[in-house]
């Protein structure tokens, strides 16, 4: 138990240290007058289990591990400080930055520009996020919409899970085998493909 507390304390200390460093960078931009014409993007690695689900690791397909921080500040946007509930992926960063900088988006680029969400965090958005992981040589794939996370291991042969984030944000109740959720499972499977 003491080791767990120490691990958590160290993890949170790292986050607090990074928060302070980001503050220093933002203060320096402001002091130099660059905050009025600089787009700031901060994103980090995906999460880490701190004993959730009995794990001390990353690289799972649960929300706590698959989700990561993402902040975008564009001084031209009037939505500063607002958050969105929309689901986005890191693959969206390149098209977002090319869009914000007025550069053409190469045809080979994946992802979608997040500009509509920067302009209006409540804008309609239908881009799910996908996550992949390998464990014991099995491939796991997950797709996340605003409400649902659906996961399959080895194309479902190694197990599957469906979580309703509106009612179960900590992913405690797997609904994948519940007959009432069969249509949702099928819809999520299509998104996963």
| 142 contacts: CB under 8 Å, gap ≥ 6 | 61, 66, 130, 131, 132, 133, 149, 150, 151, 152, 192
Tens digit of each residue's pLDDT (9 = 90 or more) over 8-63: 899 889 889 999 999 999 999 999 999 999 999 998 877 777 778 887 777 788 88
Average pLDDT over residues 130-149: 92
* Residue 190 confidence (pLDDT): 95
pLDDT at 98: 96
Q: How far apart are CA 185 and CA 163, in angstroms?
A: 10
User: Sorting pLDDT into bands at 50, 70 and 90, what band is 114?
Assistant: very high
Calculate Rg over the CA atoms of the chain.
Answer: 19
How far apart CA 92 and CA 24 sit, in angstroms, is 27
Rounded Cα distance between 131 and 139, Å, is 11
Q: Nearest CA to 15 among 39, 42, 35, 55? A: 42
| pLDDT reported for residue 21 | 95
Model pLDDT for residues 73-113, shown as the tens digit of each residue: 999 998 888 999 999 999 999 999 999 999 998 899 999 99
Strand-strand pairing, 70-73 and 40-43: antiparallel
pTM: 0.86
Asked if 80 and 97 count as a contact pair (C-beta separation under 8 A), the reply is no
Tally Cβ neighbours within 10 Å of residue 5.
9
Predicted pLDDT of residue 28: 97
Residue-range domain boundaries for the chain:
86-126
What confidence score (pLDDT) does residue 126 get? 92
Query: Does residue 2 have a pLDDT over 80?
Result: no
Residues 6 or more apart whose CB falls under 8 angstroms from that of 100 comprise 39, 74, 113, 115, 118
Is the predicted pLDDT of residue 65 greater than 90, yes or no? no
Specify the pLDDT at position 170.
93
User: Is residue 149 pLDDT above 90, yes or no?
Assistant: yes
């Amino acid at each position: 138990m003491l080791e767990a507390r120490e691990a958590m304390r160290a993890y949170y200390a790292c986050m607090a240290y990074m928060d302070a460093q980001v503050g220093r960078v933002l203060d320096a931009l402001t002091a130099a007058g660059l905050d009025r014409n600089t787009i700031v993007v901060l994103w980090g690695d995906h999460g880490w289990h701190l004993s959730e689900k009995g794990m001390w690791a990353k690289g799972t397909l649960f929300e706590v591990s698959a989700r990561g921080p993402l902040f975008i500040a564009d001084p031209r946007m009037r939505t500063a400080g607002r958050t969105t509930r929309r689901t986005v992926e890191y693959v969206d960063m390149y098209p977002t930055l090319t869009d914000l900088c007025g550069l053409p988006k190469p045809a080979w680029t994946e992802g979608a520009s997040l500009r509509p969400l920067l302009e209006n965090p409540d804008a309609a958005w239908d881009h799910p996020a996908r996550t992949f992981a390998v464990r014991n040589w099995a491939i796991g794939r997950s797709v996340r919409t605003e409400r649902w996370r659906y996961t399959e291991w080895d194309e479902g042969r190694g197990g599957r899970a469906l979580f309703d984030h509106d009612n179960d944000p900590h992913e405690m109740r797997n609904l994948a085998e519940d007959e009432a959720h069969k249509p949702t499972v099928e819809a999520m499977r299509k998104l996963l493909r």
